[in-house]
């Protein structure tokens, strides 16, 4: 192995340790009551709609898939087969800044249709948070923060990673309450691949 390859390997290991340490620090500041408050509205929702833009949107798509695997009726906002939201439904929005215009419009529409709104954001005082019935504040850097005081990663990477991890923790909690076997969940996996 060349000296250059050894150096690259070392840098990759250092990067991974840095990312993991950021999540450990974030975990110390996180309020799990905010996350557990979502269990009841998710369980009671007729349908669950998920929205986020950019990389946050990708995390929300993963969350929608997790909900579907658990047997919930879940839709990704913007997909061609997503129906109208209505009373008894739940919109779950992910926006680090809490100011993403498309996400704000969706939250306003959900409220106008008497649906509940939950959000994952870094800013509990944001417009999205003000529209939400449930707020999960992830103490990560926003994508506009370039001073590296919270994270050494680019843009909103820590928020997006944490969004996926905390939603997966929520899914594990819902699964443990549900008691379904892994085999039962697997029946809902796509078989058209």
Instruction: Write out the catalytic residue numbers.
Output: 160
Strand 134-137 relative to strand 116-121, pairing: parallel
Distance of CA 114 to the CA centre of its chain: 22
CA distance linking residue 104 with residue 129, whole number of Å:
9
CA distance linking residue 99 with residue 73, whole number of Å:
27
CA distance linking residue 120 with residue 1, whole number of Å:
44
The b-or-e profile of 136-157 (16+ CB within 10 A means b, else e) is: bbbbbbbbebeeeebbebebbb
Strand 48-52 relative to strand 90-94, pairing: parallel
Phi, psi (degrees; rounded to nearest 5) at 132: -95, 145
């Amino acid at each position: 192995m060349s000296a250059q390859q050894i150096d690259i390997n070392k840098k990759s290991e250092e990067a991974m340790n840095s990312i993991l340490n950021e999540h450990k620090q974030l975990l110390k500041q996180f309020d799990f009551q905010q996350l557990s408050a979502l269990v009841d509205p998710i369980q009671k929702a007729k349908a669950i709609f998920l929205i986020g833009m950019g990389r946050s949107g990708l995390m929300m798509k993963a969350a929608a898939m997790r909900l579907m695997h658990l047997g919930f009726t879940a839709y990704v906002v913007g997909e061609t087969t997503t129906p109208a939201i209505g009373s008894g439904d739940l919109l779950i929005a992910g926006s680090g800044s809490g100011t993403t215009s498309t996400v704000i419009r969706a939250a306003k529409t959900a409220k106008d249709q008497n649906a509940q709104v939950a959000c994952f954001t870094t800013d509990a005082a944001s417009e999205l948070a003000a529209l939400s019935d449930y707020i999960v504040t992830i103490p990560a850097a926003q994508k506009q923060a370039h001073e590296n005081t919270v994270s050494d990663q680019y843009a909103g990477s820590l928020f997006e990673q944490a969004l996926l991890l905390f939603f997966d923790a929520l899914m594990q909690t819902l699964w443990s309450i549900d008691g379904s076997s892994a085999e039962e969940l697997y029946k809902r996996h796509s078989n058209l691949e």
